[in-house]
Amino acid sequence: MPIITDISQAVVLLKEGGIVAIPTETVYGLGGDALNIQAVAKIFAAKNRPSFDPLIVHVSSIEQAHSIAYLNEQAIFLLEKFSPGPLTLVLPKKSVVPDLVTSGHPTVAIRIPNHPVAIELLKQSGLCIAAPSANPFGYTSPTTAKHVEDFLGSRIDAVLDGGACDIGIESTIIDLSGITPKVLRLGGLPYEQLTEVLGELPFQMSSSKPNAPGMLTSHYNPGIPLRLFKSYSELLSEFNTTDTDRIGLLYSGKEIKASFAINLSKEKVLVEVASKLFHALRSFDKADIDVIWAHELPEVGLGRAINDRLRRAES
């Protein structure tokens, strides 16, 4: 599986029904032609992803979104306001979209990524690209081309290298297919920005038969048990009274001396924490520890999405 930088080479692979990991502003996605059922099946097989977990389809524009989904006025308004960017909308699908993409649901999840390489790939190919995160199902999402190489190796045709992802956590997902909009996944677009234009939104953030990605309770597995504290101070208090040789720390705040510790942001800057989170979780694979200790952040802005990922990693 080569790591490539030539967008035209990726276009050829995708048009031939191949699967290529692609960069976005959130995480790297494992891309395939969303309207080619064989390509979509390859995505599920490479990730070992269950067929009941649907995929997000990436498009280059609102005009292209119209080709696969029925957009109401609210959808167009949100796409115009927040796209390209880390927002995914769940909408009634058109018949051209294979049921495998949507796991049999009558809806499809769509977004316009805010990454120059991804947008150019979409424009050059003319394809709608299904692209869940480019990692084995249930594991932490990749934020660099090297992460994808480590995760998927020869299972895929190529990785299109677009550098490290700026945001580092997946998109926010809003379901617009019902009478009332609802949040299905917290992500890179802060909840508060949505409520400014939509008002308070109900949540449905887990399901045994999800109609959007990231709704399964157990997800983002770091490969090591994770214990989550309510705050930095609570973590620090217990750390200071415990035999800590086999504990790895994942925290944000003043430096803590430990045998293996990663400080995501000394100043607790949420954007910095989000951009480093998945890379940090992967780093613990190399540590000689038995458990990761982490702490929640304030439930504001990106803090909501970061806490959501940590809770799922804990489960």
Q: At what angle do helices 302-314 and 270-283 cross, to 10 degrees?
A: 20
- Among 158, 182, 198, where does a domain finish? 198
Q: Which pLDDT score is estimated for 272?
A: 96
Distance between CA atoms of residues 42 and 241, nearest Å:
50
Q: Which pLDDT score is estimated for 221?
A: 77
Yes or no: say if 306 and 169 are a contact pair by the CB < 8 Å rule. Answer: yes
Q: Which pLDDT score is estimated for 243?
A: 80
Are 70 and 24 within one domain? yes
Q: Which pLDDT score is estimated for 66?
A: 98
- Among 179, 198, 217, where does a domain finish? 198
Are 192 and 233 within one domain? no
Q: Which pLDDT score is estimated for 162?
A: 97
Are 156 and 247 within one domain? no
Q: Is residue 39, in this structure, part of any structural domain at all?
A: yes
Q: Which pLDDT score is estimated for 209?
A: 67
Q: Which pLDDT score is estimated for 134?
A: 95
Closest CA to 53 of 78, 82, 26, 30: 30
Are 234 and 166 within one domain? no
Domain coverage including residue 173 = 3-198
CATH of the domain at 288: 3.40.50.11030
Are 275 and 192 within one domain? no
Are 140 and 42 within one domain? yes
Q: Is residue 49, in this structure, part of any structural domain at all?
A: yes
Are 152 and 236 within one domain? no
Q: Which pLDDT score is estimated for 90?
A: 98
Q: Is residue 125, in this structure, part of any structural domain at all?
A: yes
Query: How many C-beta atoms lie closer than 10 Å to residue 193's C-beta?
Result: 15
Are 7 and 131 within one domain? yes
String of DSSP letters for 202-262: -B----SS-SSTT-SSS--B-SS-EEEESSHHHHHHHHTTS--TTEEEEE-SS----SEEE
CATH of the domain at 86: 3.90.870.10
* HSE of 126, CA atoms in CB hemisphere, 13 A: 2
Q: Is residue 209, in this structure, part of any structural domain at all?
A: no
pLDDT in tens, the chain (315 residues): 799 999 999 999 999 999 999 999 999 999 999 999 999 999 999 999 988 899 999 999 999 999 999 999 999 999 999 999 999 999 999 999 999 999 999 999 999 999 999 999 999 999 999 999 999 988 889 999 999 999 898 899 999 999 999 999 999 999 999 989 999 999 999 999 999 999 999 888 666 667 777 766 666 778 889 999 999 999 999 999 888 788 999 999 999 988 899 999 999 999 999 999 999 998 888 788 999 999 999 999 999 999 999 998 887
Distance between CA atoms of residues 294 and 280, nearest Å:
11
| Residues forming beta bridges with residue 93, ordered by sequence position | 69
Q: Which pLDDT score is estimated for 286?
A: 79
Q: Is residue 217, in this structure, part of any structural domain at all?
A: no
Distance between CA atoms of residues 239 and 129, nearest Å:
46
**Cis peptide before 23, with omega less than 30 degrees from 0?**
no
* pTM as predicted: 0.92
Are 90 and 158 within one domain? yes
Q: Which pLDDT score is estimated for 295?
A: 98
Using a CB cutoff of 8 Å and minimum separation of 24, what contacts does 141-146 make? 141/27, 141/28, 141/169, 141/170, 141/220, 141/278, 142/21, 142/27, 142/28, 142/278, 143/27, 143/28, 143/168, 143/275, 143/278, 143/279, 144/28, 144/279, 145/3, 145/21, 145/23, 145/28, 146/3
Are 193 and 231 within one domain? no
Q: Total domain count for the chain?
A: 2
Q: Is residue 104, in this structure, part of any structural domain at all?
A: yes
Q: Is residue 214, in this structure, part of any structural domain at all?
A: no
| Structure token pair of residue 196 | 């400014």
Are 175 and 284 within one domain? no
- Residue 175 burial (C-beta neighbours within 10 Å; 0-12, 13-18, 19+): buried
Q: Is residue 64, in this structure, part of any structural domain at all?
A: yes
Are 169 and 284 within one domain? no
Q: Which pLDDT score is estimated for 4?
A: 96
